């Protein structure tokens, strides 16, 4: 029966802040894993495998330009297409790999993507044609004298007015904030990580935000067991097998009324909030924590009770106290549902006092786990 109310693939894969369980999409995971080879071909440039790839597919294995078309079919052909797939999803992969300038010796001035998302030979094709040394490094073109940066050019003829002059002005404007330092710190940096080192997780998270649908943020608390967290997530989406939900799925039941009060039809709001016995438990919980129970209450108001507090009211409590009370709210809802299932399937009619002790025990265990 639970399979009828199991979450969809989209619900499970969505990231937590978008209303899912945070499993992520396989597409994003696969692209992030393949993109790791883009990182490795840059940082492992002196390795034998990188030499082979560069000899076949060109500098950086053809990953420096989205217009590159692989000459041969095979594994690297799929890897080289990752950049275009990520760009189509709104993630500029090439510009996320940033060059560390250092002393400029390791950077090919024209052919490396060290300034912007494309190499200078493509952005300034007229000037590149006039260059006498197309493989020159950055240090050969830049010098610093008394703190002043000077650019040393080696054109095969003088720059003419018009398009060539415009390209030179644009190039000098881009180079305005470039400075060399006297060390060998040149290399690559991954812009999505503060450490500068590529991680599959960082790209996967960025892709998931583009690939997956978004909804309201999933309620999460590290102070409750995972079973409680998943239960709350299902309750937010009205995916619990209440008697009314089962009836909507054309499942024959002996009765649609609440198993506790046997007075109203059992839907999500009634089973967790509106039932007379359940209300008594909620009032006892709020009194226990010295909070004022809202006059108008529903499942969404209850689950967002802490987050919807005004800033002035939050200042009256310690942040951890608010976090604990939010965990208690989640636990109460789970205990109510557990007591409901015991009444239906085992014939055990748990008292309000039993539910209250169960909330205290479950919350205390969760608190102990976090403290440890």
Per residue in 311-332, pLDDT (tens digit) is: 888 888 888 889 889 999 999 9
Work out the percent of the chain whose per-residue pLDDT is above 70.
83
Average pLDDT for 329-347: 93
At residue 372, does pLDDT exceed 80? no
Residue 202 to residues 35, 98, 157, 322, 342, Cα–Cα distance (Å): 11, 15, 47, 30, 44
At residue 187, does pLDDT exceed 80? no
H helices, E strands: number in the chain: 19, 4
- Separation of alpha carbons 367 and 142, rounded Å: 60
Q: What is the CA radius of gyration of the chain?
A: 31
> What pLDDT is recorded for position 220?
64
> What pLDDT is recorded for position 370?
43
Q: Give 57-115 as a DSSP string.
A: H-GGGGTT-TT---SS-SHHHHHHTHHHHHHHTT--HHHHEEEE-TTSTTSBTTTS--S
Q: What is the DSSP letter of 196?
A: S
At residue 86, does pLDDT exceed 50? yes
> What pLDDT is recorded for position 181?
59
Q: What is the pLDDT of residues 136-177, one digit of tens each?
A: 988 888 877 776 778 889 999 999 888 999 999 998 888 876
Phi, psi of 150 (to 5 degrees): -120, 140
> What pLDDT is recorded for position 185?
55
Work out the number of other CB atoms within 10 angstroms of the CB of residue 366.
Answer: 21
> What pLDDT is recorded for position 369?
41
Residues 6+ apart with CB under 8 A from 72: 56
Helix (H) or strand (E) holding 312: helix 311-314
Confidence bin at 258 (pLDDT 50/70/90): very high
> What pLDDT is recorded for position 345?
92
The structural domains of the chain, with segments of one domain joined by +, span 25-94+191-211, 102-185, 226-371
At residue 10, does pLDDT exceed 80? no
Q: Would the pTM count as exceeding 0.85?
A: no
> What pLDDT is recorded for position 230?
83
Confidence bin at 96 (pLDDT 50/70/90): confident
Q: What is the pLDDT of residues 29-59, one digit of tens each?
A: 899 999 999 999 988 878 999 888 888 888 7
Beta bridge partners of 99: 188
> What pLDDT is recorded for position 281?
94
- Separation of alpha carbons 207 and 285, rounded Å: 42
């Amino acid at each position: 029966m639970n399979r009828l109310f199991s979450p969809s693939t989209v619900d499970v894969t969505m990231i937590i802040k978008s209303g899912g369980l945070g499993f992520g999409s396989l597409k994003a995971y696969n692209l992030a894993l393949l993109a790791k080879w883009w990182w490795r071909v840059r940082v492992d440039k002196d390795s034998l495998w990188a030499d082979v790839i560069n000899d076949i597919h060109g500098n950086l294995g053809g990953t420096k330009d989205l217009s590159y078309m692989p000459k041969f079919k095979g594994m690297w052909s799929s890897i080289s297409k990752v950049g275009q797939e990520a760009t189509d999803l709104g993630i500029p992969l090439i510009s996320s790999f940033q060059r560390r300038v250092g002393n400029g010796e390791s950077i090919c001035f024209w052919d490396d993507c060290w300034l912007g998302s494309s190499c200078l030979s493509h952005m300034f094709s007229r000037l590149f044609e006039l260059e006498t040394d197309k493989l020159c490094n950055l240090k050969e073109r830049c010098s610093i004298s008394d703190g002043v940066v000077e650019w040393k050019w080696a054109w095969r003829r003088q720059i003419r007015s018009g398009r060539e002059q415009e390209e030179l002005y644009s190039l000098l404007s881009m180079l305005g904030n470039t400075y060399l330092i006297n060390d060998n710190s040149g290399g690559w940096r991954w812009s999505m990580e503060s450490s500068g080192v590529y991680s599959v997780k960082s790209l996967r998270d960025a892709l998931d935000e583009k690939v997956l649908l978004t909804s309201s943020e999933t309620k999460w608390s590290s102070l409750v067991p995972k079973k409680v967290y998943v239960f709350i997530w299902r309750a937010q989406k009205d995916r619990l097998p209440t008697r009314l939900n089962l009836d909507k799925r054309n499942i024959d039941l002996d009765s649609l009324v609440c198993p506790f009060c046997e007075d109203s039809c059992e839907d999500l709001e009634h089973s967790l909030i509106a039932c007379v016995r359940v209300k008594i438990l909620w009032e006892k919980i709020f009194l226990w924590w010295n909070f004022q129970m809202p006059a108008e209450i529903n499942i969404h108001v209850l689950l967002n009770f802490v987050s919807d507090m005004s800033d002035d009211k939050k200042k009256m409590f310690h942040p951890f106290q608010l976090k604990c009370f939010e965990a208690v709210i989640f636990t109460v809802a789970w205990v109510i549902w557990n007591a409901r299932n015991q009444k239906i399937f085992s014939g055990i009619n748990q008292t309000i006092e039993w539910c209250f002790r169960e909330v205290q025990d479950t919350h205390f265990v969760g608190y102990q786990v976090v403290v440890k």
